[in-house]
Chains A and B, each alone.
Chain A
Amino acid sequence: MTPHHTDPLETLAPELPWAPDWADVVARARGRRRHPAGARTRFGPTKRRRVLVLVLVAAVAVPFVAYGAASDWWFLSSGASPRPVHAPVVVKEGEWSGHAWQLVAYPSTTDGLCFGVTPKGAAAGEGAGMACAPIAGVARTDETKATPDMTITYLISGSSRDFPAYVAGPVVDRAAEVEIRFATGGALRVPTFAGARSLGRVRFYAAELPADVHLGSRPTNRAPVERLSGLDSSGTVVACLVPGTAVEGISPLSDCR
């Protein structure tokens, strides 16, 4: 290396102590992140929260004005979505307050299961959103990022002029119902439905948000969803996500009991 001491690039990245941790590299490569005893994870609580809001971001921060034909989904034509392992599948169609929608999903090569909600038949796709996450029961590829499998996650979108607010997502296939507790204090309990066999062992849920849940007015640093529980047919918790405390999208089941 031939850096000159006055080179601006020296300023940009000074020589800081480097703490090699090969075991952590290997653990990440195997899909598990190593947390040395007594040590904090690389990302502190704030960063964890940042990762967790990604799913929310995909829906809220991307006001897609796009609607794709079956062979030309907006999320693929935008070029920003992970590459699919196979063609997206329409998991379910429905209607919220007179607005038809489709829940679409596909396994990606790098980011686990991608799923999205698309207004159906609208001239513009306002309200459309998508997110990706590694979910237990969905096959990984060689390129899938080394983050642990989640049992449940969510995509949430605030109401727009053309489309109602909603929450949707995948959950492990043992879940018969999903209970969503919102930061505003309201709660919602919705049945799950099966996905296509090609997606893996995963179920989905989707619901219009109650009128008292206002995403736009949520306090800073506070996720709109306080707790997300997947329940089996006997009411036992089989999936859990508490965005405020989860680490890399994972919450112990005990957090939802």
Chain B
Amino acid sequence: MNRLLGEIEAVYRRRGADFFRFALARIGEPEAAHDAVQEGFAKAVHSRRSYRGTGSVEAWIARCVINAAHDLLRRRTAADNADPGIGSSSLGPSTSEIDVEIVRAAVMQLPQRQRNALFLRFYLDFDYAAIAETLGIEVGTVSATLHAARAALAEQLQEVKR
């Protein structure tokens, strides 16, 4: 059990920055992304007994971080719905913020599985097996999922440019 704890810590130290980018893409706010990474790794440490040892530790941790980000977004959406005044701003976005928002809007149009697959590939450099393991899908479907995600994203962005 201590060996696994050491492995989790090693992943955190080696890949923490990549997981942070991954969470940032998912959530959009650096503070909240940092929080999701911390929570995800904490969850992995806390429930490490449930790790079966059959797949990659990184894929298992990625699932924990995805769940943490999902929980955080769900809580935030609920809170925003309850009180729209919280977090609202009277400042207009800068040009670069608009660009980010266009990409974000396009990404959000993707089905969740495609989005997660895309992010795992791009930000964490996961191979097909690790993506399949993280998302609980067949390895054979990863390539098609990524291709569909890329095509849909390109189409969305192209529409915006028109």
Contacts and interface: CB of A to CB of B under 8 A. Distances in A.
Do A and B truly interact? yes
Interface of A: 1-3, 7-9, 11-13, 15-16, 18-22, 24-26, 28-30, 42-44, 46-47, 49-51, 53-54, 56-58, 60-61, 142-143, 145-146, 220-221
Contact of A11 (B30, B39, B80, B103): B103
A42 B118 contact: no
Interface residues of B, number: 53
A2 B125 CA distance: 8
A25 B24 contact: no
Interface of B: 9, 12-13, 16-18, 20-22, 24-25, 30-32, 34-35, 38-39, 41-43, 45-47, 49-50, 71, 75-76, 78-87, 99-100, 103-104, 106-107, 118-119, 122-125, 153, 157
Contact of B49 (A24, A29, A61, A142): A142
A7 B47 CA distance: 36
B9 A16 contact: no
A54 B75 contact: yes
Given A7-B122, A22-B13, A26-B45, A50 B38 contact: no
A42 B153 contact: no
Contact of B87 (A11, A30, A50): A50
Contact of B47 (A26, A47, A142): A142
A181 B12 CA distance: 44
Contacts of B18: 1
A3 B122 contact: yes
A146 B43 contact: yes
Nearest to A143: B47
Residue with the highest number of chain B CB atoms closer than 10 Å, among A12, A18, A20, A221: A12
A118 B17 CA distance: 45
Given A16-B20, A142-B50, A221 B86 contact: yes
Given A11-B100, A13-B24, A221-B86, A19 B34 contact: yes
A13 B122 CA distance: 11
B20 A49 contact: no
Contacts, number: 125
B85 A18 contact: no
B46 A146 contact: yes
A51 B80 CA distance: 10
Contacts of B31: 42-44, 47
The 5 closest A-B pairs by CB, nearest first: A220-B85, A28-B42, A13-B25, A29-B45, A18-B17
Contacts of B42: 25-26, 28-29, 146
A141 B157 CA distance: 44
A7 B121 CA distance: 13
A22 B12 contact: yes
A11 B80 CA distance: 25
A61 B13 contact: no
Contacts of B85: 220-221
Given A20-B13, A22-B9, A220-B83, A8 B78 contact: no
A45 to B, nearest CB: 10
Contacts of B125: 1-2
Nearest to B74: A80
B79 A54 contact: yes
A32 B123 CA distance: 30
A8 B75 contact: no
